[in-house]
Amino acid sequence: MCLGVPGRVVSIDGLVARVDFWGVQKDIRLDVVDQSVSPGDYVLNHVGYAIRRIPAEEAEQTLALYDELLRAEDQDLMSADVKSELEAAGGRRGR
Amino acid sequence: MQEVAVDAELTFRDPARARALSARLEEEVHALGRDPVTVMHVCGSHEQAIARFGLRAAFPEGLDVIMGPGCPVCVTDVPEVDEAVALARSGIRVSTYGDMLRVRGTVQSLGDARADGAKVDVVYGVSQAVALAREIREPVVFFASGFETTAVATAAALLDDPPANFSVLSAHKYIPPVMEIVAEMPGAKVEGFLAAGHAATITGYGVFEPFVERHRMPVVVAGFEPLDVLAGLLELVRAIRSGVPKVVNTYPRCVTREGNRRAQELLWRVFRPIGGRWRGIAHVPNGNLRLRDDFADFDARRRFDIDVSSLWDYAPPKLVQKCQCGDIMAGIASPTDCELFGKECTSDAPVGACMVSSEGTCKIWLTYGGHPDLRNIRRRAS
Ligand code: SF4
Ligand code: SF4
């Protein structure tokens, strides 16, 4: 429940951003984040709300870490969490 | 208050850097000239990082890193689960985070209630529960657990004009006050806290300054990558050694002194802190978040007559009485001290709350081999 998953903003409509998480798209609320967010930015998503914009210099490393988590086996709690967050995020497939 | 710039180019997992950090950590602990120094982190994600990346192996002898009340699922108290279960059993639709389904109250978990026919939905987040309420006519109660990071989401949803058939049963908790309790606990050996980066993203690190003043104990804010954790611990031991209690921020790429003002504003507009129990930790003044009067219409406690006594007809499962979750979250016992660990209590059939969530200490220990820190367990036992 606690893990924040990073994703890339595809488009924004008011306080709702469509965010891409490894090919799964999901609408995320922007009510809480205090920085300005634009398409192309990465945001940290926490239970359906962006809690912060991920600084550009960090985005790449964060994504690399998550790429690896997504490949790891299910025995690994962190990767299991990431996978279940993405699964729960549901939304539409495909880029 | 000092800010330590953790090199933005750090590869989070670079083994050479990890070794270097761990060597410096060892020097610091050694220079302290006594044994052991005990520090506590209060975040399940820290424990996961420590277990997953095998960091305990990189901790020097003489440093005890224990996990405190850092998992929102684990600290949700038995009566709070009872309220949700009673509500569900009375026929009201209850939706909640997946983890919360398997946490047992006095008698049952929400999952048990569902097996008995109660309407219980797993949702990914509060907005999904609101969407559900919009879709169907009947009342939908969101059983809301989690710390400030998650409570902010609940607050935002309530401020966004939810439908009238939606309400919230808040079990939200606020971390800073529980640190006071742990620091004052008789027999507590904790000399400093590693605070959670995500929560501090919201509250800012300034929130720890009064605590540091009062308890003369350092607090270091740290991120969740392996090198973040090591760097945080290094600063923490340094601060202990210096004898000058202070707040150190080793996560400046996300955390500022003020934190996310907008999030705080949403949080405190909707919630007020009240005293209440955390599972196993006892009463925590200002540790629970309840809806303010302005949101009474959306407060399930005011809207429904929740009768937990209706549950007492069922016999409480005997195993639960042996569960040591409370001591584990207070940092005075390890999972292996519990006779049920890995035997009667497993992730498939959890007895206590610590075995439920992937942030629970017992589940983490069982998944990653049961004895992630043999050395320290032995020392504590002796
Ligand atoms: S909400 Fe974030 S900071 Fe708080 S316990 Fe969970 S992972 Fe840690
Ligand atoms: S092993 Fe199970 S019963 Fe024992 S303390 Fe942990 S969660 Fe509780």
Q: Is the CB of B324 under 6 A from ligand 2?
A: yes
Which residues numbered 161-220 in B keep a CB inside 8 Å of some CB on A? Answer: 198, 201-202
For chain B, percent of residues with pLDDT exceeding 90 = 46
The pLDDT value recorded for residue A95 is 30
| Ligand 1 atom index nearest CA of B197 | 3
| Ligand 1 atom index nearest CA of B150 | 1
The pLDDT value recorded for residue A91 is 43
SS3 B111: helix
**Span B135-143, mean pLDDT?**
95
Q: Is the pLDDT of residue B157 over 90?
A: yes
The pLDDT value recorded for residue A88 is 63
Q: Is the pLDDT of residue B154 over 80?
A: yes
- The reply to whether ipTM tops 0.85 is no
CA of B247 to the centre of ligand 2 (A): 33
Cβ distance of B156 and A3 shorter than 8 Å: no
CA closest to B73 among chain A residues:
A1
The pLDDT value recorded for residue B216 is 92
SS3 B194: strand
Q: Is the CB of B183 under 6 A from ligand 2?
A: no
CA angle B309, B360, A29 (to 5 degrees): 85
Q: Is the pLDDT of residue B8 over 60?
A: no
Q: How far apart are CA A34 and CA A53, in angstroms?
A: 8
> Nearest bound ligand to CA B68?
1
Query: Comparing C-alpha atoms, which of B147, B200, B207, B142 is closest to residue B173?
Result: B147
Does residue B335 contact residue B327 with C-beta atoms inside 8 Å? Answer: no
Q: Is the CB of B44 under 6 A from ligand 1?
A: yes
The pLDDT value recorded for residue B313 is 65
Query: Nearest-CA distance from A21 to chain B in Å?
Result: 15
The pLDDT value recorded for residue A73 is 64
Q: Is the CB of B105 under 6 A from ligand 1?
A: no
* B80 φ, ψ (degrees, to nearest 5): -70, -40
Which among B44, B99, B156 is the nearest to A32, CB-wise?
B156
Query: Comparing C-alpha atoms, which of B84, B203, B78, B208 is closest to residue B147?
Result: B203
Q: Is the pLDDT of residue B369 over 70?
A: no
Which residues in chain A are contacts of B10 at CB distance < 8 A?
61
Q: Which of B87-96, B171-180, B290-299 has the lowest mean pLDDT?
A: B171-180
- For B254-287, the DSSP string reads T--SS--HHHHHHHHHHEEEEEEEETTTEEEEEE
Q: Is the CB of B17 under 6 A from ligand 1?
A: no
Q: Check residues B123 and B311 and name the one with the higher pLDDT.
A: B123
Mean pLDDT of chain B: 85
Cβ distance of A65 and B254 shorter than 8 Å: no
User: What is the tens place of the pLDDT at every residue in B48-100?
Assistant: 788 777 787 778 888 988 888 877 787 888 889 999 999 999 999 999 998 89
Which among A44, A57, A77 is the nearest to B52, CB-wise?
A77
**Residues comprising chain A, all counted:** 95
Q: How far apart are CA B168 and CA B53, in angstroms?
A: 37
**Span B217-235, mean pLDDT?**
89
The pLDDT value recorded for residue B57 is 75
Does residue B28 contact residue B241 with C-beta atoms inside 8 Å? Answer: yes
The pLDDT value recorded for residue B23 is 87
**Span B314-319, mean pLDDT?**
61
pTM of the model: 0.81
Atom 2, ligand 1: which residue's CA is nearest?
B198
Atom 7, ligand 2: which residue's CA is nearest?
B352
The pLDDT value recorded for residue B1 is 41
Does residue B268 contact residue A73 with C-beta atoms inside 8 Å? Answer: no
Cβ distance of A78 and B368 shorter than 8 Å: no
Which among A4, A58, A85 is the nearest to B253, CB-wise?
A58
The pLDDT value recorded for residue B301 is 96
One digit per residue, the tens of pLDDT, for chain A of length 95 reads: 455 678 899 999 999 999 998 888 889 999 999 889 999 999 988 888 998 888 877 777 667 766 776 776 666 666 666 676 666 655 433 33
Q: Is the pLDDT of residue B368 over 80?
A: no
The pLDDT value recorded for residue B380 is 34
Q: How far apart are CA B264 and CA B101, in angstroms?
A: 28
